[in-house]
Every structure is written in C-alpha cells, then in structure tokens.
Structure 1
Amino acid sequence: MLSSLVKAQDDRPTYSFNRQWFEEQAKQLASEPYVEQKLPVDSPLNNLSYDDYRKIQFQRSATVWKNEDRNFRLSPMHPGFLFKQPVKLNLIVGGVSRRILYTSEIFNYDKEQKAAKETQAGGYSGFKLTTPINKPDIWDEFLVFQGGSYFRGLGKDNWYGLSARGLAINTAKPSGEEFPSFTEFWIERPKEKATTIVIHALLESPSLTGAFTFKATPGENTVIEVSSTLYPRKQIEAFGIGSLTSMFLFNDVNRTRFDDFRPAVHDSDGLFMINGQNERIWRPLTNPRKLQVSVFQDTALKGFGLFQRHRQFTDFEDMEANYEARPSAWVEPIGTWGPGHVELVEIPTNSEIHDNIVAFWQPSEPLKANRAYSFEYKISWGSLFKAEDKGGRILSTATGKSLGSENIRDFVIDYDSMNLPENIEIHATASTGKIVGTIQKFMHQTGLYRVVIKFEPGREDLSELRVSLSSKNQTWGETWLYRWNR
C-alpha cells in the first residue's frame, strides 16, 4: 500500500528545492492577486459531518517511512468536514521535491461513504508526524499541521491541547479577522537516526504570502525552531507573531457561572512572560463576560507562552479530556524582535469546544507592502520549562468576598516554595480602588507559600492589580497581574 502513495508517476511534479527558491516563489506570489483554493462547492467532502469525518481512517500500512530505519513517520490527513482547502504535500529527498498525489486508496471508509471515497481532491487537509516520544516501541503523534496555519505539538506524556499559528491578522478587530493558510508543504526526508525533522510551508492570504521553515525536535519538551519571511501585498497594521490559541472555560475564580461537576475546565490557565528586565510575569486567564484585550509593552522581550500549571487529575476530575496532561507552549525570539507588545485576547464562551484565548507578539511597526520581513523564534511544547522553574512559580489564584466585609475582596495567590527566602516583602498595587491589607504564610499542609491581597474596589468597575515579592531588595518569584471586573 505504501507504493500507492509515493510511487513514481509521470504527472507527479518533481523539481529541485532549496530555501532561496522557496523565498522567491513566495515573493512572486505576493506580486500576484490572491486566489483562494477550496474544494468544489458540490464536492461531497464539504458535507461530511463530524461523525462522518471521524469514521474515515488512514491505513497505517501507507505511512511514509514506515519500513525505513528512521525516527519519524508521516501520515497524510483526509480533506473534508471543516478542512475544505486542499493542501499539497511534497517530500524532499536529496534536494529534489516530489509531490504526494492525492488518493483515497490509503483510507478506510464506512460502507455509506461511497461518494467520499470516489471523490478526487487537489490535496490533503494536512499531515501528522509520529516518533517513539513516550516509549521506544510505540510510535506516538508529536506534531500535526491541519487547518489554516494551525499546528499543534506535544512533549513527553502530553495530550493535544492548545495550538500555534503561522500568523495572526486583525485578531479581535472590528474589521474582522483574516486567517492565513498553509497551502503547500515540503517535508525533508530525515537521515537515519536523525532527531530533527525539517518542514517547509507556504503561507497564503489576501494580505500576504510567507515562506516558513520548521525544524522540529521531539522530546521531554518538543522544540520547533521557526524561520519565517513575510511578503505583504498591502500594509498590515494588526498582526501577531508566534500566535498561540487555547481554551479557558472556568476554574475556582468563575466556576459558579457553570453548572458542572468538574472543579475546572481549561487547556491553559495563565499567560507567562519574561520581559526585557528579566521580570517573570504571570497573568491568570479568565473567561470574561465581554471581549477583553490586554497589552504588555516591551522593547526586548525574552519570551511568552500560554501555560497549564494544574497537573493533577483532581484539579479537573475529567476521565476523558485529560486536561492535566495538556501541554504548555513557550515562545522565545531568536535574536531580537525590537519594540512591541504581547497581546492577550480573552473571548467569552460557554463551551469547552471553543478556543477563546489568543496570545501573540505584535511589533510596534506595521508590515508595509512590497517589502520582506523575517522573524525567527522557537516554540517549545511540554509540561515544565527551565524559564519558569526558578522558584516562586504561581500555581493558583482564587478570589472571594473577604470574611466579615461586604466591600473587600480577597485574592489568594499560591507560589511554589523552592528557594524561599526569609523576610519576604509584598508590593501590591491597584490601578483603581485600593489595597487595604496583605497576609503571607508558608502552608505546611501543601508546601506552598500563600499571599492574600485584600482589595477594596469602592465604586470602580475595573482595576488592574499587581503583586511582586522581594527579600533584601532582591526580587523573588513571579510578578502577579490580574484584571478585576465587577
């Protein structure tokens, strides 16, 4: 069956491939009108329901490199359902690119899916990569590209959760968001025993084109080095580099709004950043009642990410979703990105099936037409990163009415106690309202260090809260930021 997927055919496009050629192709496309590629309107693949689509199964015998002594295997994914844009896949061997032509012969269909089986498409919907990331004799997924410019990665023992995107354009803007798509991929055949696989992807949208190269190294933390060159057709004011998309429904702070037996439901619970002054910042996520956009200015950002810090089954009590195993994602610039801001978008939702959290880096200068812009960075996927594991990680935030007072709210912040110093000082501020008291204590029951902030909002409806800790004029732990809404 493998031969049916990669066998030589007279009409299979074959040509030399290198990065320079690739960038020239992307630049040339940017000088031409954008042409959207979609399945034909009358294609039966457009009408596949979620259940119909799930019944279509890839035949493992058709897995690329299955019978070769390599650390990676590739499986194309079927088009249809939500994935209505055919994506071209190519394999690069010895600098020569050869197309993987679309065929339904490598999929198994339900007996009622004759029309889907007999329908031809201009490409697949994407692909997934496997490697023995968890056990030496089991090939598990660690990276998938499917839908728009979305891709998802896994570290060891993770389950799929949040996603990354090649580029975000006009996110949460009144004009409406534009969703660029990866329309063609070139995957380099890895050398035997290689621990890194290289993927090239063409990005297209009405506003620009882009040439992306991903170097993926799976492991305890799976690391993807991204090199991108963008070619705008017009000036773009609002765009996001290293864009991450996740889901936050509820936790202790807002669970009373949801009639649910579970104590929490989320893929990520906080935005973590290290700014140009090496300040480690934690901003708990929320599911607001109204669209909420937060901006964190910087001139020399060290990194940002959406993290999942609740890692126990009892944090979620969900036997199927495995939220405690969802990966965190950490974005680090390679070189400098200059001035700009991290933007956090929180969208109201009443269902865990909707991704409602977006975070990205927005440079201060717009992308101008007929110019080339390069951005390089790393995205790491896993459960814990060295960047955050330095003591004083904020593990949870809770809030409620202060005992004995109708007008004061308590905010309870729990820190890990690694490298806990003596004589900690609390520095707490509020943009409106006032801080009327603080409490701090090492919790012998949990081994955590707890700080309680007493906040009196007065007549205000919104306040930006900030808490940092120090000992002997030395900062300890992460800085806590929180946007309170009445």
Structure 2
Amino acid sequence: MTGKLLDRRSVLGQAAMGTLALAAAKFATTAGIAEAAGETPSQPTPFNATNVNAEAKRLADQPFAKPTLDLPPPFNKLNYDQYRDIRFRPEKAIWRGEHLNFEIQPFAMGWLYDMPVDLWVVDNGAASRLVANGKLFTFGPLIGPGPEDAPYGFSGFRIHGPINRSDYFDEYAVFQGASYLRAVGRGQGYGASARGLALNTARPGGEEFPFFRTFWLEKPKPGATQITIYALLDSQSTTGAYRFVIEPGETTVMDVSVTLYPRATLPHVGIAPLTSMFLYGNATPRRSKDFRPEVHDSEGLAIVNGGDERLWRPLNNPKTLQVSAFMDNDPRGFGLWQRDRTFRSYEDLEAHYEQRPSVWVQPKGQWGEGFIELVEIPVENEIHDNVVAYWHPSKELAPGGPHVFNYRLFWGRDVPASWSGARVAKTRIGGGKKPENVLFVIDLTGPSVKDAKDLPVADVSASVGRISNVVVQRNLEISGVRVTFELTPGDAELVELRCVLKAGDQAVSETWLYRWTKP
C-alpha cells in the first residue's frame, strides 16, 4: 500500500503542475505533425459519444492487455530532472491562433509515465489521431539531441485558457497519470486531485489503478465557454466510458458522465474518488523543525447526506492506517475542503496552501445506498498524497454492466451550496485540566451564530470515554462561537466524537465529527 502511494503522489505532485511538467508534444493539426515526421496523415474517422461506449464494451469482452511503447535511449530511462529537461514548444498548442478560449498541450512519455496515451481531436463529428514527433520538443543538456526517427508517445495533456486574464492563457486543468485529473478555479494553484475510479483502496492484496488509455478532445465552437473531453478507461477488472464537460471560472466546474463495463465483479469500488495531502494542522502534532503552522492541501471532509445533514470531519495524519465509513442513502454531496484562506496559517511563500482549491462532488440522480469512505494514511512529508475519499455503493458491481454514474465536480474556494447554518472554521487540540484529559477547541462561524441573541447549546458525545467541561462562548474575532470540552479516553485506543450546536431541538450548525486515536 505504501509503495503504491508514493508512486501516486509522484505522479500528481511532481509532474502535473505546469511549472514542473515541462515535457510535452503538441500539434496544431494531425496533418502538420504527420508531415513533420515524414508520415502520411491518416483520414479522419466519424466520431460521436456512442463510439466511446462501444469501444469500452468491446475491450471489456476481451482479456486485459496493457498498452506499451518501446522508447529508445535515453528516453526509456529518464529521471525526474531529465524529464523536466524536455521542453514543449507552446507555439504548437492545439488550436493555437484559432481564436478559441481553449488550447491543449500534450505531455510526453518518460520518467514515471511509461504508458502511451492515444489523443484524438474531434472536429465536426470527425476524429483525427495526433501523432507525436520529436521535432515538436526541445531537449536540454541533461538529455541532448533527440533522434528524429525515434518513436514518441503521449502521457496526457493540460488545458489552457483565459481563466485569470483575458489576454493570457493560463493552465487550469491536467489529465496525466493513471486516471488522475486536477483543476483549479481563478487565482488558485493545484492541490487536491480527482480520479476516474478507485478500486480496492486500502484493501488486502493492494490497490488497482485504472488508467485512461485514450482521450478524444472535442474542438469548441468560437465563443464557447465549455470544452468536452471523452476518455476510455481500462484496467484488469473493468473498462469505462467517460465524458467531461469543463467550464473554467471563479469555480471551475466539470460535468462527469461514467459508464462502467466490469470484466469481473467489483466488490470494493470508489465512485468519484478524491485524493489529497494532509501532513499536520491545528488538531495534529506539529512537526519539529518546521516553521510552518499548518501543511495540507485539504483540511477536512465535508458531507451533505441524503437526510440533508451537514457533516464536517477534520482530516488527520494518523500513526496507523485509518478507514472511516459514513453510511448514507442518495448523498447530496461530499468533498475535500481547504477552508482556511489566510497566509499566516501556512507561512509558505512557495506552496501557498491558502490558494489550494476545495473539491466538491455533487451526484446527479439517485445513487442509492452505500457510504462515503475516508482513507487516511500515515506519511512523514508533504510530497505524498495520503487522503482518499469516494462513494462506495452498498452492492458490488456485477460483470458486464453497464453501470452508470453521473456527477458534477466543483474546483474553487468553497462548496457552491449556500447555507444559513454555522460551519466549523477551525479545530484545535491541547492538554486538559488533568494530565489524562484531552482538550478540544472548535470555532464555528455563520449566520445562525453571528447574530443570535442567545448562545446555542453544544450537544457533545463520545463512543467511549467521558466528556466534561463543555463550554460555549462568543468568539468576536470570527463573529462566531467557540466550543470547548474535555475528553477522558481512559484505556480506549480510539474514540469517535460528535458535536453539534442546537437552539432548542433544532440543529443550527453542521455536525462536527472527529476520530481521536491514542498517541
């Protein structure tokens, strides 16, 4: 499990960022690339959305075969620094100079990205396959000149557009590595990621990582504010047809359609998986010799369940693997939030964790019974993703399918749904009045507590142990309230805690949940 996690974080953190992933190949037209390579351009083929489903079904009826492409030296054994030394020529971006709001820059194979990804451009119902060519790269001194006749391949792509300024195309979305994707809203930097699918996460036998083997990039119309991407997913256990409709902005929104065709029964499947990093915060021990108060891409899991109850679970970096399940029926939404937007909470001039996006999953239609599963993995540094959250259907997915799931992804500062209740602003933990006690301090803010004439009552409970010294007081610094209480865990190794503010019998805050584990 740990080894797979390290590879996954490397995929996301080291190469998906535009400043680090400088390797790529691109092409204004398929014919232009093919001619540069001395090849005859192939004829476009008819394309519509049903083609992806048909191809996913065809693959599912066959034994799994991983795509490969033999790269020549030195490209077959690049290290991280060498991979960075492959420079993409931005003037070759797909649709560059065509007065559209979108440009695509593919990534090259190499380093960790040893699996070729097919890229097709769709224009007026016809798909043309992009052909990689060494003349579309510049190679730095760590690599030297690239052989003209070498085979080249793609490993993914990134999307650019005028998201921050009307006169400049910034990168705001990336598809690269297995089925990983990430995006940002206006003025933000990459943080949490999404995936096409999660299989057997934190289960004996190891996690299976499905991958996108083919993308179809549909050319937007002039003036369009959305771009449509089709993707073919494959793995040992399943195939899938995906459709992403992406609209960048203050909050970047993706409408996602998923149709799965399992080769075998999928007993532990994660729908709409999110992945992030949490090293430490106010509710976890601070790392020695680190000047930063907090280090995380996301600080909590937020849930709006089918009963319209709002839950907030602060993330943790535990000593041992922790898996939590939040049972539900037809969830309204869930996501990994970065709520604290103040620089002083992080003090990192390079990472700027205060600018990391929150990511929210909003299901479309009824997803039935199941649970939102949260996986927290112990890590020692911030380069590894160690948090995973997804929807787990209660029933296993049978072979054949199709199994359809539709949802919307939001990437921005906040969850899009407004609410008049109070939400948790910060969780802190310290020593209690007695050595055996643990002190919890929860700050909450929102309309329901900002102007309330009377203070609400804190309803606090624990699965084991004893709760004492519950106090609610106004916190004028945040125009909210502060709840404090002490836990006496006794001999317990693990305690599940719950706190909600009430005015009479009415809940006026989201429900704070916390898993305390013995240090």
Task: Sort the TM-score into its range (normalised by shorter chain).
Answer: over 0.9
1:419 to 448, 465, 480: 448
Deviation readout 1:171-224 (Å, 9 max, x if unpaired):
011111000000010010000010110000000001111000000011111110
Shift of 1:371: 2.1
SS in 1 for 2:347: coil
Q: Distance in 2 between matches of 1:307 and 1:451?
A: 21
Q: How many residues align?
A: 485
Alpha-carbon distance, 1:382 to partner: 0.3
Of residues 404, 407, 412, the one that matches 1:374 is 404
Instruction: Give the letter for the 2:508 counterpart.
Output: W
- Cα distance, 1:459 vs structure 2: 1.7
The equivalent residue for 2:201 is 171
* 1:71-124 C-alpha deviation (Å, 9 max, x unpaired): 111111111111111111100000000011111222211134236555744631
| Maintained 8 Å contact 1:275/1:300 | yes
Task: Provide the rounded CA distance (Å) in 2 between the counterparts of 1:326 and 1:26.
Answer: 34
Local SS of the residue matching 2:447 = coil
Cα contact 2:444–2:480 (8 A) shared by 1: yes
Partner of 1:16 in structure 2?
Answer: 46
Question: For residues 95 and 438 of structure 1, do their structure 2 counterparts lie closer, same or farther at Cα, with a shift above 3 Å needed?
Answer: same
Give 1:278's match in structure 2, choosing from 288, 308, 311.
308
Is 1:93–1:189's contact at 8 Å kept on the other side of the alignment? yes
CA 1:296–1:20 in 2, change beyond 3 Å: closer, same or farther?
same
Q: 2:462 aligns with which of 430, 444, 448?
A: 430
When normalised by structure 1's length, the TM-score is: 0.96
For 1:252, what is the secondary structure of its paired residue? coil
Q: Deviations over 1:255-314 (max 9, x none)?
A: 334431111110000000000111110000000000000000001200000111111111
Deviation at 1:3, TM superposition (A): 5.2
Residues 431-446 of structure 1 correspond to what in structure 2 (within 5 A)? 431-446=463-478
- Report what 1:333 is aligned to: 363
Deviation (angstroms), 1:7: 2.5
Structure 2 residue aligned with 1:476: 508
Q: 1:274 to 1:188 in 2, by over 3 A?
A: same
Q: Which residue of the partner structure matches residue 56 of structure 1?
A: 86
- 1:159 match: 189
Q: Residue by residue, what CA displacement relative to the aligned partner does 1:345-382 show, whole Å, maximum 9, x if unpaired?
A: 00000010000000000001111112211110011000
Q: CA deviation at 1:8?
A: 7.5
Match of 1:243 among 273, 287, 304: 273
Q: CA deviation at 1:409?
A: 1.3
User: Could you tell me how far apart the structure 2 residues matched to 1:437 and 1:286 are?
Assistant: 24
Q: Hey, what does 1:7 align to over in structure 2?
A: 32
Name the structure 1 match of 2:479: 447
* Deviation at residue 4 of structure 1 after TM alignment: 7.0
Letter in 2 for 1:7: G
Q: Find the partner of 1:90 among 111, 116, 120.
A: 120
Pick from 234, 242, 262 the counterpart of residue 232 of structure 1: 262
Is the 8 Å Cα contact of residues 310 and 395 (structure 1) preserved in structure 2? Answer: yes
Partner of 2:437: 408
Kindly provide the amino acid, as one letter, of the partner of residue 267 in structure 1. Answer: D
Q: Which amino acid aligns with 1:215?
A: V
Matched-pair contact (CA < 8 Å) for 2:286–2:293: no
- Tell me the equivalent position of 2:21: none
**Residues of 1 paired with 2:289 and 2:374: CA distance?**
27
3-state secondary structure, aligned to 2:91: helix
Instruction: Map 1:249-288; keep pairs closer than 5 Å.
Output: 249-288=279-318
Residues 342/117 of structure 1: CA separation in 2 closer, same or farther (3 Å cut): farther
Distance 2:318 2:149 in 1: 44
What does residue 457 of structure 1 align with?
Answer: 489
Shift of 1:386: 3.0
| Unmatched 5+ stretches in structure 2 | 1-25, 35-39
DSSP-derived class of the 2:390 partner: strand
Distance 2:329 2:398 in 1: 20
Decide whether the 8 Å contact of 1:155 with 1:222 is kept in 2.
yes
Q: Normalised by the size of structure 2, how large is the TM-score?
A: 0.90
1:485 aligns with 2:514: no
245-254 vs 255-264, which moves further: 255-264
What corresponds to 1:193 in structure 2? Answer: 223
What SS does the aligned partner of 2:233 have? strand
Contact 1:2 / 1:61 at 8 angstroms: preserved in 2? no
Cα deviation for residue 397 of structure 1 reads: 0.5
Worse-matched range after superposition: 25-34 or 418-427: 418-427
Identity %: 43
Residues 219 and 341 (structure 1), Cα distance of their counterparts in 2 relative to 1, 3 Å cut: same
- Over 3 Å counting, the alpha-carbon distance change for 1:2 and 1:148 in structure 2 is closer
- Which residue is 1:292 aligned to? 322
Structure-2 separation of matches of 1:365 and 1:416: 38
Cα distance change, pair 339–347 in 1 and its aligned pair in 2 (3 A): same
Contact 2:318 2:378 (C-alpha < 8 Å) held by counterparts: yes
**Partner Cα separation in structure 2 for residue 419 and residue 3 of structure 1:** 54
Q: Does residue 81 in structure 1 map to residue 106 in structure 2?
A: no
Matches of 2:41 and 2:318 in 1, distance apart? 53
Per the TM alignment, residue 461 of structure 1 is displaced from its structure 2 partner at its CA by: 1.5
Structure 1 residue matching 2:59: 3-state secondary structure: helix
Q: Is residue 56 of structure 2 the alignment partner of residue 26 of structure 1?
A: yes
Greater shift in the superposed pair: 107-116 or 172-181? 107-116
- Higher mean alpha-carbon deviation, 44-53 vs 344-353, is at 44-53
* Cα distance change, pair 55–452 in 1 and its aligned pair in 2 (3 A): same
Q: Which amino acid aligns with 1:483?
A: R
Contact residue 167 and residue 242 of structure 1 kept, 8 A: yes
Pairwise mapping of residues 131-170 of structure 1 onto structure 2 (< 5 A)? 131-170=161-200
Encode CA deviations 1:124-173: one digit per residue, 9 max, x unaligned. Answer: 11011011111111211111100000000111111001110000000011
Q: Is the 8 A contact 1:2 1:64 kept in 2?
A: yes
2:125 is equivalent to residue 100 of structure 1: no
Letter in 1 for 2:134: S
Which structure 1 residue ranges, 5 or more long, are not aligned?
none
Cα distance in structure 1, aligned partners of 2:301 and 2:430: 22
RMSD between aligned residues: 1.7
Structure 2: distance between partners of 1:46 and 1:86: 12
Report the AA paired with residue 335 of structure 2: G
